[in-house]
Chain A
Amino acid sequence: MTGDDMYRYLIKRILLIVPTLFGAATLVFFLMRLIPGDICVIRLGSGGTSFTEQALSECHAALGLDRPLWLQFIHFIWGFCRLDLGTSMWSGRPVAYEIATRFPVSLEIAVFATVIAVIIAIPLGTISALKQNSWTDLAVRTFAIAGIATPSFWIGIVSLLAVLNLTQYFFGQPWMPPINYVSVWQHPLRSMSIVILPAVTVGYRYSAVVMRMTRSAMLEVLREDYIRTARAKGLVNRIIVNRHGLKNAMLPVVTVIGIEFAFLIGGLVVTETVFNLNGIGRLLVQAIGNQDYTLTQGIVMLIVTIFVLTNLVVDVLYAWLDPRIRFA
């Protein structure tokens, strides 16, 4: 593996992002315009009041919706290139500001969910692989498949109910997490008490995915010759697992964690709805509902960019570690 190869691969891989982001931008731009309805009608009339045609056209002009479609599109793409997402058509505030006020909630849930997932998944997955086909293995696998099969919002509903009922039963007063988010920097404890239930809710599914990957990666590694050699040399199992096995099995596991994390940032819509959290997912649903083109485009492009960049990092990491990929 020469540095040149790696360099070339890196350039190629980064260049590939451009058409992907452009395609995604085009797709979201035109999908939004397919949605029947009009943000100005919604803005002017959602109180049930009447308004004139003139008011409608003034609103269109103010939002730039009276311009030809191709001009709006170029404006959007050019803005995106300059990292300027524009102004929300609904609130009139910068899209970047709207996103920035919601992003911390989603990010915090995703981070905690990751921590929970890793804590559960890595030990269980490893044990499961070591005791392959035992009852322990079967139990862990069942637990994992159930995690993938259970709708996270249902766990959310049931756990919220359980917390309310149990606290009422044991302490006399029902308790639920605060629904008014504060950032972890302001009130660490309060903030954590808000996100812990949602994080567990999505963390279960997340841990299930990681657990399965850990198990199969461990199995793969345990079959490799050097582990057999180590075993033959009489090294104790624990040393083998810690020093040789886990370390080599980590790459695909880290990959899955990374991709799932990127997925979570955008995929929290349902969980945020259950717990009434003001995150990026719910903002997206609201933005689509209000037909706020600029805000929807901004959020979608943010999520897509995170997704694409995570994939880039993962791919490059792989290529760096496994030269064969570069020539595929």
Chain B
Amino acid sequence: MTMISQDAAAPLVADEAGGLHRRSLPARFLDFIRHQPLGTVGIVMVGIVLVAGIGADWIAPYDPTANDFAAMMQSPSWAHLLGTDQFGRDILSRIIYGARTALIVGLSTAMIGGAGGLLLGVASAYFGGRLDLLVQRALDVLMAFPLIIMALAVVAAFGTGVRNVIIALTIPLIPRCARVVRSSALAIREVPYVDAARACGFSHSRIILRHMVPNVVAPFLIVVTAAVGQAILAEAALSYLGLGVQEPVPDWGLMLQGGAEEYAVTAPWIAIFPGLAIMLAVFGVNIFGDALRDALDPKLRER
């Protein structure tokens, strides 16, 4: 498999050809930083979000949902580093816990949607014929809906809340992912070793899982990484519209509606910090994704 570059992405993708010469971890790490300065920043930012999301219970200084009418709309101070909102809730704590919501939505959407798209795309390419045609038309239909329109409709039908937001964002992701995977898989389907596997009488699922899936991993990972950022943004938009996660769940998009707008003049910190959190998190995911793409896709390397 020649797609994989030697230095940057070696730890990320299994290499079947085994033509990779292993260097020491620190050396490869330094190499990555040198070649991908932005990517490194991305990894650090993603790391921060991960730590905040996973360790919220230990890191957050306050209960993110506890109202405290004695501390309403306080400006940033040592007691409340990022200030408090109109219910007297600590904004830093809500942002830290909000990372968890963002991660849950972003990662589950990307994983479920990605897995669905991967299977659909590979199967569609492998079997071809009528199944492919049927799947393609179904995907056409889903793709014809702009993401936010699809999400609005799904949330309206199934209701709000974290689980339904994930469903609403997963459905539009599946076709986008399936498309990318299918076109890579189509190319691989004609490669001799797949024919050979078929000639050997291996089962379809074995061929798909063992031979085709690993070979579309690179474009797949790129799509899925991009999806994480998109899902976080779309979730924030839905929650801002009141159609996503509901109060008092700590959530970045939700934090930007209501008090954030109503008291933007006298208490701007309510509006500014959650917005920054979304921006930095998605920024991190995106530059990480870009670095990953550059590393995985030789055509785009050196750019």
Q: Which residues of B contact A300 (CB under 8 A)?
A: 145, 149, 153
Q: Which residues of B contact A32 (CB under 8 A)?
A: 153, 156-157
Q: Which residues of A contact B281 (CB under 8 A)?
A: 149
Complex contact B271–A151 (CB within 8 A): no
Q: Which residues of B contact A307 (CB under 8 A)?
A: 144-146
Beta-carbon contacts of B234-261 to A below 8 Å, as 1s and 0s? 0011001101000000000100100011
- B141 CB within 8 Å of chain A: yes
Given the known interface contacts A267-B146, A288-B152, the answer about A157 and B260 at a Cβ–Cβ threshold of 8 Å is yes
- A27 CB within 8 Å of chain B: yes
Complex contact A285–B154 (CB within 8 A): no
Complex CA–CA separation, A96 to B257 (angstroms):
32
Determine the residue in chain A with the shortest Cβ distance to B148: A267
Q: What 3 pairs across the A-B complex have the smallest Cβ distances?
A: A23-B141, A154-B275, A149-B282
- B300 CB within 8 Å of chain A: yes
Complex CA–CA separation, A304 to B172 (angstroms):
14
Complex CA–CA separation, A319 to B271 (angstroms):
47
- B59 CB within 8 Å of chain A: no
Most A CB within 10 A of own CB, among B37, B146, B237, B240: B146
Complex CA–CA separation, A27 to B145 (angstroms):
10
- B137 CB within 8 Å of chain A: yes
Complex CA–CA separation, A122 to B130 (angstroms):
42
Q: Which residues of B contact A179 (CB under 8 A)?
A: none
Determine the residue in chain A with the shortest Cβ distance to B279: A150
Complex contact A270–B148 (CB within 8 A): yes
- A158 CB within 8 Å of chain B: yes
Q: Which of A24, A145, A270, A308 contacts B241 (CB 8 A)?
A: A270
Size of B's binding interface in residues, CB under 8 A: 48
Q: Which residues of B contact A161 (CB under 8 A)?
A: 264-265, 268, 271
Complex contact B256–A154 (CB within 8 A): yes
Give the Cβ gap from A154 to chain B, nearest Cβ, in Å: 4
Interface SS of B by simple majority: helix
Given the known interface contacts A20-B141, A161-B265, the answer about A269 and B148 at a Cβ–Cβ threshold of 8 Å is yes
- B63 CB within 8 Å of chain A: no
Beta-carbon contacts of A51-62 to B below 8 Å, as 1s and 0s? 000000000000
Beta-carbon contacts of B73-103 to A below 8 Å, as 1s and 0s? 0000000000000000000000000000000
Complex contact A149–B148 (CB within 8 A): no
- A142 CB within 8 Å of chain B: yes
Q: Which of B144, B233, B261, B303 contacts A149 (CB 8 A)?
A: B233
Complex contact A270–B282 (CB within 8 A): no
Complex contact B279–A145 (CB within 8 A): no
- In the complex, besides A20-B140, A270-B240, 14 extra interface pairs with C-beta distance below 8 angstroms are A27-B141, A35-B156, A138-B38, A142-B38, A149-B280, A149-B282, A149-B283, A153-B240, A267-B146, A269-B148, A285-B152, A288-B153, A288-B156, A304-B144
Interface residues of B (CB under 8 A from A): 37-38, 137-138, 140-142, 144-149, 152-154, 156-158, 229, 233, 236-237, 240-241, 243, 253, 256, 260-261, 264-265, 268, 271-272, 275, 278-283, 285-287, 290, 300, 303
Complex contact A149–B279 (CB within 8 A): yes
Q: Which of B153, B157, B237, B265 contacts A165 (CB 8 A)?
A: B265
Q: Which of B241, B253, B260, B279 contacts A269 (CB 8 A)?
A: B241
- A325 CB within 8 Å of chain B: no
Beta-carbon contacts of A204-216 to B below 8 Å, as 1s and 0s? 0000000000001
Complex contact A35–B148 (CB within 8 A): no
Give the Cβ gap from A213 to chain B, nearest Cβ, in Å: 13
Give the Cβ gap from B105 to chain A, nearest Cβ, in Å: 14
Q: Could you list some 22 contacts between A and B, CB below 8 A?
A: A16-B137, A16-B140, A20-B144, A21-B144, A31-B154, A31-B156, A31-B157, A35-B156, A132-B303, A138-B38, A141-B38, A145-B38, A146-B283, A149-B286, A151-B275, A153-B240, A157-B260, A266-B149, A267-B148, A285-B243, A303-B146, A307-B146
Complex contact B157–A24 (CB within 8 A): no
Determine the residue in chain B with the shortest Cβ distance to A160: B264
Complex contact A151–B153 (CB within 8 A): no
Complex CA–CA separation, A284 to B241 (angstroms):
12
- A81 CB within 8 Å of chain B: no
